[in-house]
Amino acid sequence: MTDVREPLDGSSQDQDYDPFAVFDQSVGVGQVVDIHPVFHEMRAQCPVHEGMFHEQFGMETSMADAMVGDRVPYAVLSFDAVQQVLKDGETFSSSGYADSIGLVMGHSILEMDEPEHHRYRSLIQQAFTRKEMERWEVELVTPIVDGLIDEFADRGSAELVRDLFWPFPVHVIAGMLGLPTEGLTQFHRRAVELITIAVEIERGLEASQWLYDYFAAIIAQRRADPRGDVISVLVEAELDGQRLTDDEIIAFLRLLLPAGAETTYRSSSNLMFGLLSNPDQLSALRDDRSLMQQAIEEGLRWEPPLTGIGRTAMRDVELAGVTIPAGSPVAVEMGSANRDPSRWENPDAFDIHRKMQPHMAFAHGPHTCLGMHLARMETTVVINRVLERLPDVRLDPAADDVHISGLMFRAPNALPVVFG
């Protein structure tokens, strides 16, 4: 498998620059360990808070700053309030992303409101059918996961983030798009540079143009010679006589890898950490795979890979007794909502035997994550293959403190394990 952290070329500048480390730092990885005591305290005071809150986690800046500017932001923390915001797209608009991540993504589904959002989503969904999901599981995901495990299965030890969870979603998305494997390293690095625009704007804009040119060439090839990949489906997708333009396809493709690979690697790593930290639950899942669905949902509830998203209030609105003025940025904290004690008993505990009920890890309402079924399928495959191929897998007792960290994006930096 390709080492996706290789430099773009032989230049010393690129060798010295690690976009993955820059991104991790910008979202609090390694700086913020347990976010939930702060969320509990803030939520207990009031479900909606005025003002920036990342300072309470010891962070001087945040990626969210790019959406705020000089306006006063509001953070929504309780399950009920988060749900209310996400289902009311007319009052709480997604359009604010146009002035931040939209500068490098282009006009994507991320920043669209209804009815434009519905039309665009209906076209995009044609590439993510149940039939395609079943094909990807057999032809793409399982072989990729097995290929990565092959590289360490005989060693008796591994670092599961570096060796498995981090690389596998990147290879899956590249396979779905029909990208040449020799371009995967550049593609991944540029995609991560794209989402670090808040701290590295020039690199973000350069990466945006690089990805535009990269995808434009592939789209032209697919229009002339369609194949069985996602880009070909998007090129041919039609709804009521309307088709996607090249710019619309490129905006979605720019979004797909950071949205899909980053979140899937983090959610599967978080679930594995929860299982390894609770050996009785790991053993129960190994013995009874019918628990897999509730294990995945509990992992997503307990530690969602993305803790919050942004909205903009389009009118003066009262939410949980707090008046939010029109034009205010609204931080929708799904990570806090997922541990609201009014909804879940003992919410900080990881418990795969917990009664399942809807959580907010994939958001809610019109903008519910388009890739949630793909993410669940990928996680099912990777956890199953770990349990089947790494007998008695367990945290390495000699490893240093292993934990999840991050404010906006969360995952363990490492999962050192032994097995056999």
* Residue 252 domain flag: yes
- Cα gap 85→311, rounded to integer Å: 8
* Residues 204-222, mean pLDDT to the nearest whole number: 94
Per-residue burial over 143-176, b = 16 or more CB atoms within 10 Å of its CB, e = otherwise:
ebbeebbeebeeeebbbbbbbbbbbbbbbbbbbb
- Mean pLDDT of the 146-175 span: 96
For position 200, what pLDDT does the model report?
Answer: 83
* Of 21-30, 122-131, 168-177, minimum mean pLDDT range: 21-30
What per-residue confidence (pLDDT) applies to 64?
58
Residue 156 sits in which domain range? 12-390+400-412
379-390 tens-digit pLDDT: 999 999 999 999
Residue 249 lies in a domain: yes
Residue 152: the pLDDT is: 98
- Answer whether 0.85 is exceeded by the pTM: yes
Residue 259 or residue 369, greater confidence: 369
Alpha-carbon dihedral sign for residues 359, 364, 365, 369:
negative
Question: Does 3 map to a domain?
Answer: no
DSSP state of 10: S
Within-domain flag for 1: no
Domain count of the fold of the chain: 1
Dihedral over Cα of 82, 83, 86, 88: its sign: negative
Q: Is 129 contained in some domain?
A: yes
* Per-position DSSP letters for 338-360, written without gaps between them: TT-TTTSSSTTS--TTSPP---S
Using CA atoms, how far residue 10 sits from 34, 217, 232, 339, in Å, is 39, 24, 33, 46
Task: Read off the pLDDT of residues 319-369 as tens digits, 9 standing for 90 and up.
Answer: 999 999 999 999 999 999 999 999 999 999 999 999 999 999 999 999 999
Q: Is residue 373 part of a domain?
A: yes
Would you say residue 1 has pLDDT above 60? no
Predicted pLDDT of residue 21: 86
Alpha helices (runs of H) in 113-181, residue ranges in sequence order: 116-124, 130-136, 142-150, 160, 168-177
Nearest to 367 by CA among 97, 41, 100: 97
Higher pLDDT, 62 or 254: 254
Work out the pLDDT band at 12, boundaries 50, 70, 90: very low
**Residue 58: predicted pLDDT:** 72
Predicted local distance difference test score (pLDDT) of residue 333: 97
Is the Cβ–Cβ distance between 304 and 288 less than 8 Å? no
The single-letter code of the amino acid at 269 is: S
- Asked whether residue 360 is domain-assigned, the answer is yes
Q: Is the pLDDT of residue 7 over 90?
A: no
Residue type, 420: G
Integer-rounded Cα Rg, in Å, for the chain is 21
More confident site: 66 or 12: 66
71-102: pLDDT as tens digits: 899 999 999 999 999 999 999 999 999 988 89
Across 385-402, average pLDDT: 96
Outline where DSSP puts E strands in 157-271. 157-159, 238-239, 242-243
Here the CATH number for the domain that contains residue 62 is: 1.10.630.10
Q: Are 369 and 362 in contact (CB under 8 A)?
A: yes
pLDDT band at 8 (very low <50, low <70, confident <90, very high): very low
Q: Check pLDDT > 50 for residue 300.
A: yes
Report the amino acid identity of residue 340.
Answer: D
Residue 10 pLDDT > 50: no
Specify if 228 maps to a domain: yes
pLDDT tens digit string along 42-65? Answer: 999 999 999 877 777 776 665 555
The sign of the CA dihedral 383, 384, 385, 391 is positive
User: What are the two backbone dihedrals, phi and then psi, of residue 133, each rounded to the nearest 5 degrees?
Assistant: -60, -45
